[in-house]
Amino acid sequence: MKSKFARILLAIAVTFTFSAFAQTGSAATPTTAAALPAAPSSAAATTTPVPNTGTKVGAINIEGAIFNCNEGRRDMETLQKKFEPKQTELKGQNDELEALKKQMSTQGDKLNDDAKASLQKSIESKQKLFDRAVQDAQEDFGNQQQEVAGRILQKMAPVIVKYAQENGFGMVIDTSKPWPQSPILMAGEGVDITKPVIDLYNTQSGVPAPSASGTTAPKPVTPKAPASTMPKPTTPKPSEPKQ
């Protein structure tokens, strides 16, 4: 149960749920793979055909660009801190549930039928409440994360288009999702424009880089776990998109 709880909490606070990004097509960038939820209105103009004389094909990890730019790192750090009380609350519920299960395991055969039935009923009731609380927290966190991503994408989309045009790219593909989740089988580092786009966006946004000593500064592609009692995940390398 503990390992299951750890995975659940990581899904809430660390392992950001990008699956919703693939639910809708991105109206902001010329991608064929994962996209953010509802197409931002201010980015809609990028769907209008623009002059393009480039012949090169570029690749960008949209998720990595959004959450590793200074603004994305700052906003996700704020969101993680906001959910720390919920993490603590869920951990308390889980500890209480584990204590009851341990009691059932070690003392169940010594209890009379009524006491054993009462304990089992309490475990089942608390389990349902816990599962529902986890589901609600996951949905709430995911929705707020998508709001952050959508807002940043509205401003980042024109930067991607501008960079591509100025550097001779006639097509830019999104590598946020690995094949076969996306039609992109592979994209070498030589065509990746994620870092230069991040650098260009950081300059344009004017948002300073988070302190190097911060405990929640993220690494590509997923943020680092906040300093708390929660277990920390293994952060994948930039070349290994999150499954």
β-strand partners of 56: 169
Mean pLDDT, residues 10-30: 37
Chain segment 114-165, per-residue pLDDT in tens: 999 999 999 999 999 999 999 999 999 999 999 999 999 999 999 999 999 9
Which sign, positive or negative, has the C-alpha torsion 208, 209, 214, 215? positive
Q: Tell whether the model's pLDDT for residue 32 goes beyond 70.
A: no
β 169-174/56-60 pair status: parallel
User: Spelled out in words, what is the top-level CATH class assigned to the domain 2-205?
Assistant: alpha beta
Domain spans in the chain, listed from the N-terminal domain onward: 2-205
Q: Tell whether the model's pLDDT for residue 34 goes beyond 90.
A: no
What is the C-alpha separation between 148 and 62, in angstroms, rounded?
13
Range with the largest mean pLDDT of 37-51, 94-108, 202-216? 94-108
**Number of residues assigned to the chain:** 243
pLDDT at 66 (0 to 100): 96
pLDDT at 228 (0 to 100): 35
pLDDT interval class at 79 (50, 70, 90): very high
Looking at 40-49, 113-122, 169-178, which range is the least confident one? 40-49
Please count the other Cβ atoms lying within 10 Å of the Cβ belonging to residue 53.
7
Q: Tell whether the model's pLDDT for residue 2 goes beyond 90.
A: no
pLDDT at 27 (0 to 100): 36
- Contacting residues for 225 by C-beta, under 8 A, at least 6 apart: 10, 13, 14, 216, 231, 232, 233
pLDDT interval class at 212 (50, 70, 90): low
